[in-house]
Amino acid sequence: MLHKVSKLRGFHLVATDGEIGHVEDVLIDERTWTVRYLVVDTSNWIGGKSVLIAPRALGAVDAVHRTIQVALTRDAIGNSPSVEAADIDPAETIPTVWIL
């Protein structure tokens, strides 16, 4: 089944040993248009950082319950690289400002 990337924001990640965080963003490779990482906010579980999870670790997506199964432990997710380690264009990190 296809899912809109924008709808994945807020989905909770369920590791092999329990819930660990929620999807904050999705990083797409602009050359290949493939999903490179999910940015996962783990601030409620391991001290407030955003980590990168590769798509190969993802399992079932439950759109009704807004969860994504992940084939990693909570500890492995907590030790994943932080979002600061990603090669993100600095312009992409600037918040959108609307002037009315």
**Which residue would you say has higher pLDDT here, 100 or 21?**
21
pTM listed for this prediction: 0.80
Class of domain 5-93: mainly beta
pLDDT tens per residue across span 9-18: 999 999 999 9
From the CA atom positions of the chain, what is the Rg in Å? Answer: 14
**Token pair recorded at residue 28:** 């797409």
**Is residue 97 scored above 90 in pLDDT?**
no
**Token pair recorded at residue 21:** 């965080």
Strands in the chain per DSSP E: 12-15, 18-29, 34-41, 50-53, 58-62, 67-70
**Which residue would you say has higher pLDDT here, 12 or 93?**
12
Region 78-89: what's the mean pLDDT? 78
**Is residue 69 scored above 90 in pLDDT?**
yes
Q: How far apart are CA 62 and CA 54, in angstroms?
A: 18
